[in-house]
Structure 1
Amino acid sequence: MRLSPEQQTIIRDEVARAFGPDARVRLFGSRTDDTARGGDIDLYVEADGTPDDLLERELKLHAALQRRLGERRVDLVVHRRGSPPRSIDTHAQRTGLPL
């Protein structure tokens, strides 16, 4: 995993702040490959809420991560717990690493 322990802590803290303590977050994509270089930070978040509520929380999370992680590209995929999985949800759940 190509995130520092500090970055992992920041991500976990901000996800909990935005979505609550029951939210789950996984890192997926190129940052899970220790042999690769560069790449954006792809995060998969699974949480409870209405679609409108989750969108608002996603935007707040993105802003908080930009402030705390700096000018890194962060891509968020938010899945409403209990809703049918999309292909990106299945991929992130299968290949992602829990934070």
Structure 2
Amino acid sequence: MSDFGRKSFTDQATDKITPESQKPTTQKLGDTASGAYDRTTGAVQPDSQKSTTQKATDSLRSGSDDASSRSKGVAQSATDTADSAARGVKDTIGSVTGNK
């Protein structure tokens, strides 16, 4: 059971499980808006005013958000490393062949 005005754990899980390609644009926009509202509400509402279920749901979401953020950081780092290596190879070939 979720607190008044908040998305239930089941609703949040369903939003995540359903592939974006299978959602109409209106649902994608609704998921984004309601997700942002729920995150904001969860952040400003004191834990003492949340139900046990809502505390657990907010905690799970926070962990999921952190993991997602870290994985994006790792992916960007890998992309940056690959780009840097490609530039290095291009520069080396250019200096050997005289082409820059």
TM-score bin, normalised by smaller chain = under 0.3
* Structure whose residues are more often helix by fraction: 2
Larger Rg: 2
TM-score by length of 1: 0.26
